[in-house]
């Protein structure tokens, strides 16, 4: 096989183990995974289509939502097709450079998603705390700059990883104990001093999660203060109701991250498949539920989706 061919610095390919300890259940595990991926693709493509064709939705909130949908599509598509090939056809081999590319896309787009969720928190802050200045603050040029800043930050932070991994010799085998090329799973196969990779990976994760989440929480402290100052209870419910979808998206993204982080520290002796299933849940859950959250809770999106399907039904008759 190709994986037995070793160049002067790295193997030609790695082998993905899948979910260690649950190999005999891969076919059954693939069913919810495939269903979640199908829902993610259909839901996010529908969101992008509706926002694209409806000029009334070309507002800051929906432009940020379209960014989130595009990121979710790339995030899930960077891993799920290969993962399903592994589960269904036992196609475990992945080229070394393809592995690095998958890793780069996976971690970069996760960082971009965090940045977009932060931008959406800022959008809600301006809409509720400074409603009269909403259109003058959140202009299209500013939204473009925010999007470019999110991409630049992610690419800048993740570009070193492939180059850091290329310099290692891989003397601990070619079997990655994971369903995809996760950074630390690859680092464990490397020889030599990997301390910098370990520290860099943890530092970036902590920097992104702590910094972004801190600013999101601060935004909602200001939002809550502004909402509580409204005169009527109905106005309070209406104002805070515009934030429900975003809060759901934040919980969908950050809750698996926090649970996985806690499990790695509290339950270190837990079976490897527990940590890997949590990591897969983190990849699958937000892309699957975000379109559902926004489709159900956002009136404008819900009406457009229903209108789209009603028109199809009428044409069919």
pTM metric for this prediction: 0.91
Whose structure tokens read 């926004």?
294
66 pLDDT more than 50: yes
**Among residues 76, 21, 70, 43, which one has the least CA distance to residue 281?**
76
- Are 223 and 125 spatial neighbours (Cβ–Cβ below 8 Å)? yes
Angle, CA 174 vertex, CA 285 and CA 93 arms, to 5°:
60
Strand ordering across the sheet containing 13-16: 93-95, 13-16, 175-176
Region 221-230: mean pLDDT is: 91
Domains, in order of start, for the chain: 13-316 (1.20.1070.10)
Mean pLDDT of the chain: 88
Those residues whose C-beta lies under 8 Å from the C-beta of residue 12, and which sit 6 or more positions away, are 2, 3, 5, 6, 95, 96
CA-based angle 160:200:113, to the nearest 5?
75
pLDDT in tens, 86-140: 999 999 999 999 999 999 999 999 999 999 999 999 999 999 999 999 999 999 9
As a whole number of angstroms, the distance between CA 219 and CA 151 comes to 22
Min mean pLDDT across 25-29, 74-78, 226-230, 248-252 is at: 226-230
Res. 8: pLDDT tops 70? no
The angle, 0 to 180 degrees and rounded to 10, between the axes of the packed helices 80-89 and 26-53 is: 150
Q: Is the pLDDT of residue 312 over 70?
A: no
């Amino acid at each position: 096989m190709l994986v037995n061919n070793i160049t002067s610095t790295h193997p030609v390919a790695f082998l993905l183990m899948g979910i260690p300890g649950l190999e005999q259940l891969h076919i059954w595990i693939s069913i919810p995974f495939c269903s979640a991926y199908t829902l993610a693709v259909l839901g996010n493509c529908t969101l992008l289509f509706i926002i694209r064709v409806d000029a009334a939705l070309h507002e800051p909130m929906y432009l940020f939502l379209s960014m989130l949908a595009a990121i979710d599509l790339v995030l899930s598509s960077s891993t799920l097709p290969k993962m399903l090939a592994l589960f269904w056809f036992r196609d475990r081999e992945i080229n070394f450079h393809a592995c690095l590319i998958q890793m780069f896309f996976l971690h970069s787009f996760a960082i971009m998603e965090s940045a977009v969720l932060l931008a959406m928190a800022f959008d809600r802050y301006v809409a509720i705390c400074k409603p009269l200045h909403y259109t003058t603050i959140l202009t299209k040029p500013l939204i473009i700059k925010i999007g470019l800043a999110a991409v630049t930050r992610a690419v800048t932070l993740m570009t070193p990883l492939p180059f850091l991994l290329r310099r290692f010799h891989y003397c601990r085998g070619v079997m990655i104990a994971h369903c995809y090329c996760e950074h630390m799973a690859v680092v464990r196969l490397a020889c030599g001093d990997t301390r910098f990779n370990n520290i860099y990976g943890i530092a970036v994760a902590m920097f992104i999660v702590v910094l972004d989440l801190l600013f999101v929480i601060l935004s909602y402290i200001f939002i809550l203060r502004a909402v509580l100052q409204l005169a009527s209870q109905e106005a309070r419910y209406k104002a805070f109701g515009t934030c429900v979808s975003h809060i759901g998206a934040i919980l969908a993204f950050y809750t698996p991250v926090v649970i996985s982080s806690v499990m790695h520290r509290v339950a270190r002796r837990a079976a490897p498949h527990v940590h890997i299933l949590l990591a897969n849940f983190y990849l699958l859950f937000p892309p699957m539920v975000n379109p559902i959250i926004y489709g159900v809770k956002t009136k404008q999106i819900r009406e457009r989706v229903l209108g789209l399907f009603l028109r199809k039904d009428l044409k069919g008759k």
